[in-house]
């Protein structure tokens, strides 16, 4: 099950095979995650994100940040190291390469110099760069379908043959 949804479903089904210990693990994980999230957003013991930004002399906007959410760790565990690494790499390309390049070469230097670096980085990301990520996901999805075309065709053939034999 190479897709995140399939992997998540498989992990939940595995827990169902061990109802006693599996439910305890899920319950404990939910409790710990809830306490951490409550401390973060309810009690505001620490911020939800750690971030910093700067504007270089050449006009490039640089941003570094991370979300401190336990939910992201859980998703990373469920989808596995390969997909987590690809998601991380996509973020690095967006924030450390695409945003500085866009702000340096395609924006008015006066506009960049007057702006708050973090706000400008988010504006560039939301209006320009995130579409780059959506396009990459679209290409990846199409490539995945092309990669598993043999299995899809075999499954459809088998289904049609079974349907034909059931109707006779």
pLDDT, tens digit, 9 for 90 and up, residues 144-159:
899 999 998 999 999 8
Can you point out the beta strands (E) in the chain? 49-55, 61-67
Average pLDDT, integer, range 64-82: 78
Q: What is the pLDDT of residues 31-48, one digit of tens each?
A: 888 898 899 889 999 888
Q: What is the mean pLDDT of the chain?
A: 83
**Is 80 exceeded by the pLDDT of residue 13?**
no
Q: CA–CA distance from 6 to each of 19, 37, 78, 107, 141 (Å)? A: 20, 26, 10, 42, 14
Give, in order, the Cα–Cα distances in Å from 47 to each of 109, 135, 153, 163: 31, 31, 49, 57
Q: 65 vs 93, which has greater pLDDT?
A: 93
Average pLDDT over residues 62-73: 80
Model-level pTM greater than 0.85? no
């Amino acid at each position: 099950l190479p897709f995140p949804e399939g992997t998540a479903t498989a992990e939940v089904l595995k827990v169902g095979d061990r109802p006693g210990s599996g439910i305890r693990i899920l319950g404990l994980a939910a409790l710990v995650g809830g306490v951490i999230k409550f401390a973060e957003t309810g009690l505001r013991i620490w911020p939800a994100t750690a971030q910093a930004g700067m504007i270089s002399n050449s006009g490039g906007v640089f941003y570094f940040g991370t979300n401190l959410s336990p939910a992201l760790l859980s998703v990373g565990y469920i989808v596995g190291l390969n997909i987590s690494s690809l998601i991380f790499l996509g973020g690095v390309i967006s924030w450390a390469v695409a945003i500085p390049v866009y702000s340096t070469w395609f924006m008015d230097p006066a506009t960049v110099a007057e702006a708050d670096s973090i706000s400008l980085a988010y504006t560039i990301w939301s209006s320009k760069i995130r579409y780059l990520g959506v396009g990459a996901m679209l290409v990846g999805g199409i490539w995945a379908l092309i990669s598993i075309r043999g299995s899809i065709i075999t499954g459809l053939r088998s289904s049609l043959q079974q349907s034909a034999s059931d109707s006779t």
